[in-house]
Amino acid sequence: MSLLKQIGSQKLLSFSLLAVTLACGILIGTLVSTGVSAARGQTAAPDATPLVIPPVTRLSNDFTKLAKQLEPSVVYISTDFTPRPQTQSRRRQAPQQEGEAEDNMDLFRRFFGQMPNAPQQPDRRFRREGSGTGFLVDRNGYIITNHHVVERADAIKVKLPGEQSGATYKAKVIGFDGESDIAVIKIDAGRPLQAVRFGNSDSVQVGDWAVAIGAPFGLEATVTAGIVSATGRDLIGAEQFQRFIQTDAAINPGNSGGPLVNINGEVIGVNTMIATRSGGYEGIGFALPGNMAVKVYNSIIQYGTMKRGSIGISFNKVQDPNVMKAFGYDSGVLVTDVTAGGPADKAGLKKDDVILALNGRPVKDGDDLVARIADMPVGSQVKVTFDRDGAKQDKPVTILDRMEVFKDDPRFARFRPEMENPGAKEEISTAKFGIGLKPLTGDWKEQNGYSEPSGVQVTVVEEGSFAEEIGIQEKDIIVSINRKPVNSIEDVRAVQARLKAGDAVGFKIARPIRALAGAQSARTNWGTIYVGGQMPRPE
């Protein structure tokens, strides 16, 4: 038995050695075959050396540090809005009021998420979405953005960096300043948020690095770098208080309201406008200086609006230097008009006076005068030195709120929130279509050039209502419903009561086309359209 065991053990050992030898041979054969196949497969460039991907390394510079520092503070803003009918642009004429501006040129565009020249349906309003950028300036959720990003919004949503996809916060408008295009909005995130740091924009010099952060075309957290190309840029079409920082950092639609920062990560401006012929980036962008944004923000969180001082005068924006020389001066402001009842009028200033100094400090020109008076506290006094018929005089003038001084001037109406006629609310009644209605008076028809014998005016269109869905707008006149003339609110209610879910309903609407330019009574042309739909089922 022992001999048999010995023979069996030798056979097992021999078999094991044979198996190992075969395995090694197969492995070597595979490697050789693979190498040969690889060499044979590289026929396109047999003498080329394959590239190798190196290990991951993190390169670092000032821009990467800056991007990481600012990323938590820059937010993405989306809005839902219903486009309003476009109105004819209003041309401004000299003389210029304190703060008045020229019309926008097509070259200069505010870069909101929706392109300004996008085609629109003239007779129906469809809810649309817009987008822009903002940045946190307070740990409690206060955000600075551009007014034009949120001014048309029915709803404002803010997405914070790092939040899960689709998570947004509803924002409310704290206040805005149309003349600087700055708005302050607020969200409640339920936790402290990381705010930006401001630098002093007066320190900005041409050639400084500039970094723009925003969401161009909805691409969140986009960082672009360039330099400051110019400072104090006065653009045709800009408002009185807008003197821009110009940069070549890439800025596109959707960057509106985002920060322009220096190499230290400090905000030096609010991206507001571009110069373009294509609608996109062409190397020239403009940001409102950070110092102005700070002033506007501080006023808004205190008063809900921007308060600026005024003395109530008008002047030509561009003064002929020869005229001033003929009067014996190289600088100063020639008064072309004085607002009746305003501070300057009460102090005794008149047309043709030449304002030379404020509190003993010479006035360079109209921009200098407006900027200095606007920064003075409302209610304070300023000593105005002026020339009248060759004789210098000094008068104390009390500074008042600019919007109060020019409250009756239609050129400033676009800077105020739209106000309802206080007496109109008593006349408004609501119909179940989701609209508020007001009967028409004979005087109203005569003043507005409305000649149809029937009709009631729409004063309110409820969000999400049947009326909104089919395109009825505020200020429309409902002339008839299903060919039945409408002469009162009761007529509308009677038609509503007879309609069932799924019934088709058609409205004949008279809609304002445009106000006749220069008309004292703002008479209106009216066009007729038809809108309709099927009555929805009750929820």
Among 73, 177, 181, 314, the active-site one is 181
CB neighbours of 40 closer than 8 A, spacing ≥ 6?
none
Calpha distance 273→284 (Å, rounded): 9
Among 131, 147, 148, 491, the active-site one is 148
181 given a catalytic annotation: yes
256 given a catalytic annotation: yes
DSSP state of 211: E
β 266-275/197-198 pair status: parallel
Calpha distance 414→103 (Å, rounded): 12
Residue 365: both structure tokens together: 């020109």
How far lies 5's CA from each of 1, 11, 12, 173, 186, in Å?
6, 10, 10, 96, 91
Chain Cα centroid distance, residue 455: 37
Angle ∠(491,494,498) on CA atoms, nearest 5: 145
* Contact by Cβ (8 Å): 449, 513: no
**95 upstream amide cis, omega within 30 of 0:** yes
* Contact by Cβ (8 Å): 407, 370: no
* Contact by Cβ (8 Å): 214, 285: no
Query: Comparing C-alpha atoms, which of 316, 339, 353 is closest to residue 403?
Result: 339
Calpha distance 264→243 (Å, rounded): 23
Among 73, 229, 256, 310, the active-site one is 256
The residues annotated with a catalytic role in the active site are 148, 181, 256
